[in-house]
A and B are shown apart, each in its own frame.
Chain A
């Protein structure tokens, strides 16, 4: 038998169709069912479950991230408010202390002025009385001198 039998061979040949064809078709259909049960369904289930898991985890993570950002903003706002309040308290306290200082200063000044005035008045009156005294003394002395002079005559 020649090793190269092509068309029209009574036995063998490249294009030798026989019951191999339907049997192979049946075998492939059977294999499809077996692989569907053993491979496509279970692997598909695992892969799709994981895809779902990843998807839900991602959305959850996004949600949590948004929440965290919101909280951060809230805290930042609170912090800003607290800073402003603190600043206000400080400036108020500064203004208060300034006012108190000025008041105290004015009071001290006026007291000092008053006491100075009083002292000056006292000095004035004492000078006045000393002058008067002097005047009367001078008058008395004058009189004495006059009397002495008159007496000596």
Chain B
């Protein structure tokens, strides 16, 4: 940060710098994996603790897990439909939970206290690689869902009301992952930047409402990503008549 104008200890702003780990010819962003492992660890700990002793009368963490399960089931069922939502519920739920803990973990945990030689820790979803990976998984999923449910009849979807739709539907296959990944990436990165800039300018009070807004946005983005993923899968398995 030698040339950076930002000098406050917790208000430093680093954009587009990464902590590189080199494996042979492959390079990966170390900070993304470090935070994602911590957050996945926290999520799995919660799940393991909550499912350790499950009863018919739920107690403690089991309540929270059942609430989440019910929420995800409703989401998957309304978007995908009664017939196949069970197959896709774990995937939709994992997307929701992973994005949610990533966004909130990035916003709530004071990562800046940990010094890295390069780059900084933050929400894994503020890295374009993560969001594109998630979006591509969604694309693969809806293709797989359509093909496994309807076979080659899946491609009827492209000419569905009329064959005029064909080019638009083909373009959609590219815009869907693009919009999914950029929406999430942009929102989370922008949120981090706004908070960082505000903390840099006015280190007291003012950033707090923006931080709360950030938490709200983070939750909404997780919900939007999961809902759209479920909607795309539902669209692919829907039967046209």
Contact = CB atoms under 8 A, between A and B. Distances in A.
Q: Do A and B belong to a common assembly?
A: yes
Contacts of A35: 44, 47, 90, 93-94, 97
Interface stretch (B10-18, B152-160, B212-220): B10-18
Interface in A1-43: 1-6, 9, 12-25, 27-29, 31-32, 34-36, 38-40, 42-43
B98 A28 contact: yes
Chain A's interface: helix, strand, loop or mixed, by majority? helix
A32 to B, nearest CB: 4
Nearest to A26: B133
A149 interface: no
B36 A46 contact: no
B133 A28 contact: yes
B19 to A, nearest CB: 10
Nearest to A44: B69
A7 B5 CA distance: 21
Interface string B176-204: 00000000000001000000000000000
Given A28-B98, A34-B44, A35-B93, A14 B28 contact: no
Interface of B: 1, 3-4, 6, 13-18, 23, 26-29, 32-33, 36, 40, 44, 47-48, 51, 54-56, 58, 62, 65-66, 69-70, 72-73, 89-91, 93-95, 97-98, 119, 124, 127-130, 132-134, 136-137, 189
15 contacts: A3-B16, A14-B16, A16-B16, A17-B132, A18-B27, A19-B23, A22-B133, A23-B33, A24-B32, A24-B124, A24-B134, A25-B136, A28-B134, A32-B91, A42-B54
